[in-house]
Amino acid sequence: MDSPRRAAASIDWTDLPVVVTGGAGFLGSVLVDRLRRASAKVVAPRRRDYDLTNMDAATRLLADTSPAVVFHLAAAVGGIGANRANPGRFFYENMAMGLNVVEAARRYGQLQKLVIVGTTCAYPGEASVPLREADLWDGYPEPTNAPYGVAKRALLVMAQGYRQQYGLHAVYLILANLYGPGDNFDPETSHVIPALIKKCVDAVEQGAGEVTAWGDGSPTREFLYVDDAARGIVLAAERYDSPEPINLGTGEEISIRELLTLIADLTGFRGRIVWDRAMPGGQRRRRLDTSLATTVLDFRAQVPLAGGLRETIERYRQRRITQIEAPRPLDRSR
């Protein structure tokens, strides 16, 4: 296998046709903004127009848009609750979308680069920390997110096989947990940061004396601000062209207990925190070894956690005000 290397030449984004699958999502919309600011011609297909679990739709997408670069972000994602509720759907949809997009890219045959976004959930549940790219296959992922993680992990193998057999310029990134202003605050599907922000802000507004969080607070996570993630993804398209995956993260870990203390502080929540130990806390520790991204992409995360959390909290508060102030549609049924 090749050793990790930078791409021979960078990409001139000016007027370059680019597709971002999942480009209307949380990470996708930030990536699309960044690429448009670089003057790329970006298409962000929606599921209703191109359902990528369908091979014909994936083929049609590339035929309709003639991209030079594809970023594959479309996915079925969510926090521990959503993963536990949808193990079958998460496996099928992530597997099917990946299979179809990579195969469609091969048939299309004109891509300069296919950037596939993977996840830290693909790492073995018991892997030693920091999580190194070389350790990806040293065990099975943590059970609460294994179907999602295995589906994502399998795409790495597909990308490597297609590079070897068909010369597809596919690169694969393993992203830490993301957070940021456009995050999903729906309690049914949200990840830990938006879930805890919502709980604390809502508790302050309602004068509630306590918030409840899942697990015992001891697991650790690494959180990457969404703008940093988008910047790293673009750098990978520009600078990387090798089969080995690259971790993208901050290289810093924080326990969920410390995270909640920080969010409580930033939101002004002064009440009691109750840990619901009957609920799962997920993998014990997660922190990526980010040295490869530093060496190969010259990538370093720039947004400190407290600053990113402030932005995220502020956006959540603004959204709530907008929702509360928005005029309710007239009920004509009465």
Neighbours of 182 (CB within 10 A): 18
Provide long-range contacts, Cβ within 8 A and 24+ apart, for 85-94.
87/146, 87/147, 87/148, 88/147, 90/147, 90/148, 90/151, 91/147, 91/148, 91/150, 91/151, 92/53, 92/151, 93/53, 94/148, 94/151, 94/152, 94/155
Any contact of residue 191 with ligand NAP (CB under 6 A)? yes
- Residue 215 contacts residue 208 (beta carbons within 8 Å): no
Least separation, in Å, of the C-beta of 53 and ligand NAP?
Answer: 5
What Rg, from alpha-carbon coordinates, does the chain have? 20
What is the set of active-site residues? 148
Least separation, in Å, of the C-beta of 308 and ligand NAP?
Answer: 13
Residue number, 18 or 203, with CB nearest to ligand NAP: 18
Any contact of residue 53 with ligand NAP (CB under 6 A)? yes
Any contact of residue 75 with ligand NAP (CB under 6 A)? yes
Neighbours of 274 (CB within 10 A): 10
Any contact of residue 169 with ligand NAP (CB under 6 A)? no
Which stretch, 99-107, 128-136, 153-161, 171-179, contacts ligand NAP (CB under 6 A)? 171-179
Any contact of residue 233 with ligand NAP (CB under 6 A)? no
Closest CA to 216 of 154, 173, 277, 303: 277
232, HSE (Cβ side, Cα atoms, 13 Å): 33
Of the candidate residues 175, 196, 263, 305, the single one contacting ligand NAP (CB under 6 A)? 175
Least separation, in Å, of the C-beta of 76 and ligand NAP?
Answer: 6
Distance CA 235, CA 298 (A): 8
Any contact of residue 119 with ligand NAP (CB under 6 A)? yes
Binding letters toward ligand NAP, positions 24-43, x by CB under 6 A:
xxxxx---------------
Least separation, in Å, of the C-beta of 4 and ligand NAP?
Answer: 20
* Residues binding ligand NAP (CB under 6 A): 21-22, 24-28, 46-47, 50-53, 73-77, 93, 97, 117, 119, 175, 177-178, 184, 191
